[in-house]
Amino acid sequence: MLKFLADLKNKHHKRVFGGLEILKYIGPGLIVTVGFIDPGNWASNVAAGSHFGYSLLWMVTLSTLMLIVLQHNVAHLGIATGLCLSEAARAHLPAALSRPLLWSAMAASVSTSLAEILGGAIALKMLFGIPINIGSVLVTALSLYLLLSNNYRRLEKWIIGFVSLIGLSFIYELKLAPVDWGAAAAGLATPALPGGSLPIVMSVLGAVVMPHNLFLHSEIIQSRQWNLQDETVIKKQLKYEFADTLVSMLAGWAINASMIIMAAAVFFSAGKPVGELEQARNMLTPLLGGSAGTVFALALLFSGVSSSVTSGMAGGSIFAGLYGEPLNLKDSHSRLGVYISFFAALGIIFFVSNPFRGLIVSQMALSVQLPFTIFLQVYLTSSKKVMGKYANGRWTLFLLCAIGLAVAWLNLELLRSLF
Answer whether residue 31 is part of any domain.
yes
**The pLDDT of residue 363:** 67
Helix (H) or strand (E) holding 235: helix 231-263
**The pLDDT of residue 316:** 93
**The pLDDT of residue 252:** 86
Residue 265: Cβ within 10 Å count: 25
**The pLDDT of residue 10:** 42
> What's the length of the chain?
419
**The pLDDT of residue 285:** 65
Answer whether residue 388 is part of any domain.
no
**The pLDDT of residue 337:** 95
**The pLDDT of residue 408:** 81
| CATH number (domain holding residue 281) | 1.20.1740.10
Answer whether residue 419 is part of any domain.
no
Answer whether residue 326 is part of any domain.
yes
- Would you give the end-to-end CA distance of the chain in angstroms? 69
Note down the domain range covering 256. 24-181+191-363
Answer whether residue 302 is part of any domain.
yes
Answer whether residue 382 is part of any domain.
no
Task: Write out pLDDT tens, residues 53-92.
Answer: 999 999 888 888 988 999 999 988 988 888 999 999 999 9
> Residue 295's closest CA among 274, 280, 308, 310?
280
Walking along the chain (419 residues) 10 residues at a time, the average pLDDT comes out as 37 41 58 76 83 90 89 89 92 93 92 89 90 94 86 71 79 83 90 78 74 87 59 70 84 88 86 73 64 80 86 93 89 94 93 73 74 93 92 92 85 66
Q: How far apart are CA 330 and CA 327, in angstroms?
A: 9
The residue type of 178 is: P
**The pLDDT of residue 401:** 93
**The pLDDT of residue 18:** 44
- Number of folded domains that form the chain: 1
The long-range contacts involving 4-9, CB below 8 angstroms and separated by at least 24 positions, are none
Answer whether residue 347 is part of any domain.
yes
Task: Write out pLDDT tens, residues 162-192.
Answer: 777 887 887 887 888 888 999 999 998 888 8
This prediction's pTM: 0.82
**The pLDDT of residue 338:** 94
Answer whether residue 401 is part of any domain.
no
Q: How far apart are CA 385 and CA 244, in angstroms?
A: 27
